[in-house]
Amino acid sequence: MIEPGIYKDVMSSFPSGVTVVTTVDPEGGIVGITASAFSALSIDPALVLFCPNYASDTYPILRDSKKFAIHLLSADQTAEAYAFAGKGKDKAAGIEWHLSELGNPILAKATAIIECELWREYDGGDHAIASGTWRGVGRRLGGAPGLIWIDAHLDSHTALTTHSGNIHGMPLAALLGEGQQRDAVQMLG
């Protein structure tokens, strides 16, 4: 078996976009989780997936609601990423949001939003693999670039390199200036 620390260290060297997945709880409040394990799954039907931890207090609410919004965060949404990564009831305190026509909580300033209906759930070890079929989509043009999470630093040649044991979980937006950020995102493809 691989040690969890080694697993996390190796996986942290892979750049990943950052999403927040939200829904409404039975009392009508907003709940959500930060997820970097997110991917496109299928064009026909239009499906995406995210992988929440089974230990999450929020995931059962997301699953049971059968609908959710996935927010592809912009570089200026670091506060939202941290807020929804934490534990507790009022993760959205101080965060601007509204309900969509489909009844999903929508965070302001996201680069893109995909509203989904739960399609299938699969077992993925200590995480679920939750897939959703698109029910609505929105994209903000002209805003900040997407938020990318990486355990990295820039060397003197401005190439991204991993740096174990130092800048763990630092968002790329915090490491780079705006021009460098665009160049790095283009390098990452």
What CA–CA distance (Å, rounded) separates 12 from 77? Answer: 20
| Buried residues in 80-96 as b, exposed as e (16+ CB within 10 A) | bbebbbeeeeebbeebe
Q: Phi then psi for 155, rounded to 5 degrees? A: -85, -175
What is the number of H-type helices and E-type strands within the chain? 5, 14
Residue spans of alpha helices (H) in the chain: 4-11, 59-65, 78-85, 172-175, 178-188
Least confident of 80-84, 95-99, 138-142, 166-170: 166-170
pLDDT one-digit tens code per residue, 126-155: 999 999 999 999 888 777 778 777 664 333
The percent of residues in the chain predicted with pLDDT above 70, rounded, is 78
- Is the distance from CB of 102 to CB of 23 less than 8 angstroms? no
Q: Phi then psi for 76, rounded to 5 degrees? A: -95, 20
Q: What is the pLDDT of residue 148?
A: 77
Strand 67-72 with 47-50, pairing? unpaired
Beta-carbon contacts of 123 under 8 Å, excluding residues fewer than 6 positions away, are 129
Task: Evaluate if residue 110 carries a pLDDT over 80.
Answer: yes
- Is the distance from CB of 151 to CB of 169 less than 8 angstroms? yes
Write out the DSSP string of 23-86: EE-TTS-EEEEEES-EEEEETTTTEEEE--BTT-SSHHHHHHH-EEEEEE-BTT-HHHHHHHHS
pLDDT one-digit tens code per residue, 10-37: 887 778 889 999 999 999 999 999 998 9
Q: The tokens of 45 are what?
A: 């039907």
Q: What is the pLDDT of residue 5?
A: 85
